[in-house]
Amino acid sequence: MGSRHAILTTTALAAAFVVAAPAQAQVRSFDIPSAPAVKAIPEFARQAQIQVLASARDLAGVRTPAIKGNMDARVALRRLIAGTPLEIAGDDGQVVTLRSRRVPAKGQAAQVIGRGRIAGQVINPASGEYLRAADVELVAANGERRSASSGEAGAYHFNDVPAGHAMVTVRFTGYAAQAGAVEVHARKTAKLDFSLRESDADDEQPSNRIVVNGAREDYAQDIMAQRKSMNIVDVLSTEAYGDIAGGNPAEFLKYMPGVDVDGTNGTALYAFLRGLPAEYTRTQLNGMDVVSANSNAPSGYANSAAAARIFSYESISMSAIDSVTVYKTVSADNNADAPAGIIDLRTRHAYDRKKPALVLSVGGFSHQDMWDGNTHTGPDPQGYGKDRFLPEASLFYANSFFDRRLGVMLSLGYNNSYIEREQLTMSRNYVPTAKSPDPLAFSAMEFETSARQTTRRTGSLMLDFRADDRLTLSLLGIAFRGNVYQNQSDATFTTGIRANGATGDILSNYTTLNPATAKSFQSANTTQYKVNNGNIIAPSFAWNRGNAHIDGYFAYSDSRSYYDTPHMGQVTSFIPTVTSTGNFSAVKGSSGLATADWDITQVSGPDWSKIDSYTLSAAPQIRTSSGANAFIYEKSGALNASYDARLGTVPITFKAGFKVTDTVYRFGDSSGDNLYTYTGGLSNADFLAAITGPYTRTSWDKSNASFTSISGSAYVPMIDLSKLYDLYINHPGDWTHTLSAANYAAANYANNTRFEENIKSAYAMATATIGKLRLRAGLRAEWTANTSWGWSPLSATEVKAATIDGVKCAVTASTGIATTIPCVDYQFRTNGYGSTRGDYFNLYPSASAKFTLGRGTDMEVGYSRTILRPGLNAIAGNASVDDADKVISVPNPELTPALSDNISVRASHYFKSVGLATIGFYYNRIDGLADLQEGLSADQVGTGADGYAGDPAYADYSYTTYRQLGVVSIKGIEASFQHAFSWLPAPFDGLSMRGAFMHNAPSQPITRVGRNIGSAALMYEKGPVKLFVNLLWNDDKYRSTTPSWFQARTDLSVSGRIKLARHWEAYFSVNNLLAQPYNVMVPGELATTASNVPNHSAIFVQNGRTGTFGIRARF
């Protein structure tokens, strides 16, 4: 590594302070005596407050004249070099480069014969971090100019450089430009390394410097990577927003420009880009495909198969991720299935650092409800007790061995998060009656407490081996293990207002008038324990020789998600309803209907805080666990080759490659096979007494809601699901497996989906640089083959004609399913388990251009054609019959993807002191979305109706299937800002700010996706203190066609770090500081009999504040 001193022995580098407006006239006072150029030029740069680069060899033996007086800096420079061999070789407004017109001596001229190579690395010596994406410019001996960028480990190179004296200049945001002179010899490699120093602030004195370290160094690296990309991208280090509670990557993503998340359950799980649903976004790891299975369907999706293409961040941890690149436009070498864009999670290589690194942290996660007086809430029946924190820990280690040929990076993370969610659901009725003539009445109020603990365990290992200067071999392995432990306790109050009336004002203070026998109160309790496991292994290589580069990888990724509640010593649910009778008063705590702060007080009937006041709707029955499960695995391999060439004076890079991806999806749900009915000797009353828990599991204080029984108690009896589990395990003879034919058919046949997707792709592209204009164009071809497996059940007529084991088969009229298990087997197995195939081929052109104005402004435009492949529920699975409505639903494996034409334009300005401002426009035109079509005939459905079309029993049935839609479009604007205010006087020079705004305008409303989203972040770093303040604002967000919307809300989080000693720091974070609710609103216009009903809350959710603290050591 060449030190700064070593570089300056071969380079005259005069660095003063670049003014804020370098392109304008710069009048300075000069007093420079006649002197050798090696002294006069640095003195001129100091007095002119500009940066001058020149080779020591060019300055040697040159004497400059004296200059004195007030004049423009450029005028003064021309006077200073007048009559000398020096001339201005370049002036970009920030840096002036000088060179000599002298003809080399004979011995020097002989060295110009032949060509060689220049290679080196760029490092920040203060941090030991190598700098990627630095601008590296070459002026060769023959005057030829080239540019390159530093890559992994800060490495750069120039091939086929004319032999002789060459000048290399390195620029990086926030750092002083640095030049180095080097002699290039034929067929040899000249080494030239750079150790950059922080630059000085605009228009500031030498004592005021831009300090680029810590988070700001990450910002500078991100800005350089963003500017170098030919795609429109946003790049951010995972340090950008401080410590993210729970280690959830989606909680980090939600602050990035153009990103939206669904966080209604208290933590973000899915990410959306540019106003499109989550399935339009592709998530990758280091540019490689990864999968994510989720046995629980996101809100708005029919089942987990329908959401199979959505990446869930529920399990993976931030500990494995170094930075995030969000692609807003894609090139031919990117996947085509990303109409909204690509989220690329990047891990760090060990050789990104010159020095070894070891970072250890230990801390805890807490929720505000863990500090209140109610210690028995939580997923466990006993609650969290006196625990105030859930543990978390992480380890990061990076080192290089064997003379930096082997790099090892190990990351381990253990994270916990806990959300105690309150949800108050107001069931509404808009039909007046004689006893209740009001236009709006609440028919029921459901008060829910949902305690959810999410645990993430992630381990990653990255090995990089430099076999030689040309070949690098890498191996990435990641294992993530996660679980979600959740309990939901509900108290539902039925008003009976429309049937029985009420006294008082039914929208603010009323008392119910239910008859003594009416079931007006119900308690319910469920527990889920979900397991999420996954593995990624990806060997890769990169090979360089001359102007040629070849790289490739093979990646295997799998993900499994399933439920196993008995693992936690509980059953999932108690099936019969637990109800009581009586009346209650409901008093609204605040005016208006935009909140749900109701105080409920029982006024008559048996005491709702006593278990003997309750009855069961049926014999005791349990579901041991949800049977929903999902498994996805994917194998992919890619090979890419590029070549740097020149067409005349135009440098151009040609790149081509191919990729093969094979993905298998499997989904099932055996929940119906997990039912057991109690047949022991206890009466229902005794059974209830035996399994009721003694603790208060409900709390709605964050929502300012409450319940008081007739005896003055806030206790709501809840079934203890661990006691049920013990009864089931310890007395198996008292339980009978309850398996109906319908549940058997669903668990073993109808709910099982298997689908395989094979994609072969090839592409070619070229990137050319013409002055300040860079152009790229490419074409991608993809061949997709689908195979869907499923059962082909017999029709109801065929089933009824059969006799199995001497019993005539019958079917349930509403479903068409046989009524006995042997007949169900006959119905599904007769035609067997078959496959249906579909395939299609598409071409995807792409093009982009980037034009640089000066050194600080870029104009970008990008076009790409992409696809959205249909959801698995649309193309895979089994046909189903609804005899009640006489509808047959048929999947359509022949569906082809929707095609999306995407156009993006962005203007970006980059500030010298680590900052940028961008504004952009985007437009997506999507043709052929898969949409559910109803009321079709058998002929319109085609082969999917085989087995039903010829059966007279289904002659008057209609069909539903998925068909391609017409054109849907979305357009929007996106803006972002980032700046480090290091030019301010102390102590304000430690302040940085970033912000973003997105506005979406779809041609038709898209559910659960925001139209207006803004974010802002402040970071302060000074001495031992580092503080982060992050704010996220969402405007009203369309939720459903009810119609309903999420009310606008603002989320505020604060985090910080304080250095305690040389290697030790304390950290903390506080999230959801404003505690604003997720409030689902509905319009007053739904009450059609009156015009003065205000908009009102339908679902009011409070998730509460959370926080972390801990100790971290950095070595």
28-32, 40-44, 532-536 — which one is most confidently predicted on average?
532-536
The arithmetic mean of pLDDT across residues 506-535, rounded, is: 96
428 and 1086 Cβ atoms separated by less than 8 Å:
yes
837: tokens are: 């195939």
φ/ψ region of 103 (left if φ > 0, alpha if ψ in -120 to 50, else beta) reads: beta
H or E stretch at 260? strand 259-261
Q: Is the pLDDT of residue 5 over 60?
A: no
975 and 1012 Cβ atoms separated by less than 8 Å:
no
705 and 597 Cβ atoms separated by less than 8 Å:
yes
Q: What count of other Cβ atoms lies within 10 Å of the Cβ of residue 2?
A: 18
SS3 413: strand
234 and 306 Cβ atoms separated by less than 8 Å:
no
Q: Is the pLDDT of residue 942 over 80?
A: no
pLDDT, residue 410, reads 94
pLDDT, residue 931, reads 64
> Which 3-state string (H, E, C) describes 186-236?
CCCEEECCEECCECECCCCCCCCECCCCHHHHHHHHHHHHHHHCCCCEEEE
Contacts of residue 285, Cβ cutoff 8 Å, sequence gap at least 6? 344, 345, 346, 347, 476, 478, 536, 538
17-31, 582-596, 850-864 — which one is most confidently predicted on average?
582-596
Phi, psi of 1017 (to 5 degrees): -145, 135
Comparison of pLDDT for 49 and 369, the residue scoring more: 369
H or E stretch at 907? strand 898-911
Q: Is the pLDDT of residue 981 over 70?
A: yes
Lowest-confidence region among 8-17, 454-463, 947-956, 966-975: 8-17
Q: What count of other Cβ atoms lies within 10 Å of the Cβ of residue 643?
A: 14
pLDDT, residue 6, reads 31
221-225, 718-722, 977-981, 1090-1094 — which one is most confidently predicted on average?
718-722
Q: What share of the chain in percent tops pLDDT 70?
A: 91
Q: How confident is the model at residue 837 (pLDDT cuts 50, 70, 90)?
A: confident
Q: How confident is the model at residue 881 (pLDDT cuts 50, 70, 90)?
A: low
Q: How confident is the model at residue 24 (pLDDT cuts 50, 70, 90)?
A: very low
List, in order of start, the domains of the chain with CATH numbers: 4-195 (2.60.40.10)
Measured torsion, CA atoms of residues 93, 95, 101, 106, in degrees rounded to the nearest 10:
-150
Among the residues of 792-931, which ranges form H helices?
796-800, 821-829, 872-875
**Strands of 330-469, DSSP E:** 341-346, 357-367, 390-401, 406-429, 441-466
Q: Is the pLDDT of residue 304 over 80?
A: no
Q: How far apart are CA 1058 and CA 86, in angstroms?
A: 52
Q: Is the pLDDT of residue 209 over 70?
A: no
508 and 540 Cβ atoms separated by less than 8 Å:
no
DSSP-derived secondary structure for 538-598:
EEEEEEEETTEEEEEEEEEEEEEEEE-GGGGT--SEE-S-EEEE-EEEEEESSSSSSS--E
354 and 130 Cβ atoms separated by less than 8 Å:
yes
Distances (CA, A) of 348 to 153, 176, 433: 10, 25, 67
Distances (CA, A) of 376 to 427, 563, 698, 708: 28, 24, 9, 18
83 burial type by CB count under 10 A (0-12 exposed, 13-18 middle, 19+ buried): exposed
Q: Which amino acid is at 488?
A: Q
Q: How far apart are CA 41 and CA 59, in angstroms?
A: 9
Distances (CA, A) of 491 to 33, 526, 674: 90, 12, 25
Instruction: Specify the pTM.
Output: 0.85
SS3 985: coil
pLDDT, residue 181, reads 82
Question: pLDDT per residue over 44-63, tens digit each?
Answer: 988 888 878 777 777 888 99
Comparison of pLDDT for 942 and 109, the residue scoring more: 942
Contacts of residue 456, Cβ cutoff 8 Å, sequence gap at least 6? 246, 247, 248, 315, 316, 317, 413, 414, 415, 416, 480, 482
Q: How confident is the model at residue 204 (pLDDT cuts 50, 70, 90)?
A: very low
Q: What is the mean pLDDT of the chain?
A: 87
Q: Is the pLDDT of residue 148 over 60?
A: yes
Q: How confident is the model at residue 945 (pLDDT cuts 50, 70, 90)?
A: confident
User: Please, what's the b/e burial string for 196-214 (b: 16 or more CB within 10 A of its CB; e: otherwise)?
Assistant: bebbbbbebeeebbbbbeb
Pairing verdict, β 706-708 and 735-737: unpaired
Q: Is the pLDDT of residue 632 over 70?
A: yes
Q: Is the pLDDT of residue 20 over 80?
A: no
Q: How confident is the model at residue 877 (pLDDT cuts 50, 70, 90)?
A: low
Question: pLDDT per residue over 153-199, tens digit each?
Answer: 788 988 888 988 888 888 888 777 788 888 899 888 899 998 887 65
Question: pLDDT per residue over 1058-1082, tens digit each?
Answer: 999 989 999 999 999 999 999 999 9
pLDDT, residue 813, reads 80
12 and 199 Cβ atoms separated by less than 8 Å:
no
Q: How far apart are CA 300 and CA 302, in angstroms?
A: 7
Q: What is the largest CA-CA distance in the chain?
A: 118
Give yes or no for a cis peptide into 576 (omega within 30° of 0).
no
Q: What is the DSSP letter of 749?
A: I
Q: How confident is the model at residue 336 (pLDDT cuts 50, 70, 90)?
A: very high
Q: How far apart are CA 596 and CA 1072, in angstroms?
A: 20
718 and 522 Cβ atoms separated by less than 8 Å:
no
Contacts of residue 809, Cβ cutoff 8 Å, sequence gap at least 6? 799, 800, 801, 802, 803, 818, 819, 820, 823, 826, 827
pLDDT, residue 386, reads 80
The arithmetic mean of pLDDT across residues 499-518, rounded, is: 96
Give yes or no for a cis peptide into 987 (omega within 30° of 0).
yes
